[in-house]
Amino acid sequence: MAPAAVDVKIIAIISVGIVVWLFCMYTCAELARSNGQSYGLWVTIGFLTGPFGLAFAWAYFRLTGERHRRMRYGVGGKSDLPEIIQCPRCGQSVPSAFECCQFCGSPLHGRR
Ligand SMILES: [Zn+2]
């Protein structure tokens, strides 16, 4: 194998690496901006950590994004979050998916 061919291969790999890295960096920052976080901060994080930062940002904004959306639209608004209802006996807020109140244990939907 000629040395020149090896050089071209290395340059190609590095170029692809840089493109992937930059893609991760900007995706990271876009995720941050759409979740109301600092664009500049997450560009820096994405720049420093690349794909790892993107994976982290994705997981992080999946968690905090839910909370952000709930604050913006309110409980039971346009979201896929479980509906929150009040326990008929103790008045605590519990997800309607629950069969029984998680605080006092009384049935939430009546027994049939
Ligand atoms: Zn209850």
DSSP-assigned letters across all residues of 20-83: HHHHHHHHHHHHHHHTT--HHHHHHHHHHHTHHHHHHHHHHHHHHHHHHHHHHH-TTSSSSSPP
What are the structure tokens assigned to 76, written together?
């039971």
pLDDT: which is higher, 28 or 67: 28
Q: In angstroms, what is the span from residue 40 Cα to ligand 1's centroid?
A: 45
Q: Rounded to an integer, what is the distance from CA 33 to the centroid of its chain?
A: 12
pLDDT for residue 12 is more than 90: yes
Over residues 43-78, the pLDDT tens digits come to 999 999 999 999 999 898 888 766 666 666 655 445
pLDDT grade for 35, boundaries at 50, 70 and 90 = confident
pLDDT grade for 108, boundaries at 50, 70 and 90 = confident
Torsion angle defined by CA atoms of residues 24, 25, 28 and 32, in that order, rounded to the nearest 10 degrees = -170
Q: In angstroms, what is the span from residue 25 Cα to ligand 1's centroid?
A: 46
Q: In angstroms, what is the span from residue 83 Cα to ligand 1's centroid?
A: 16
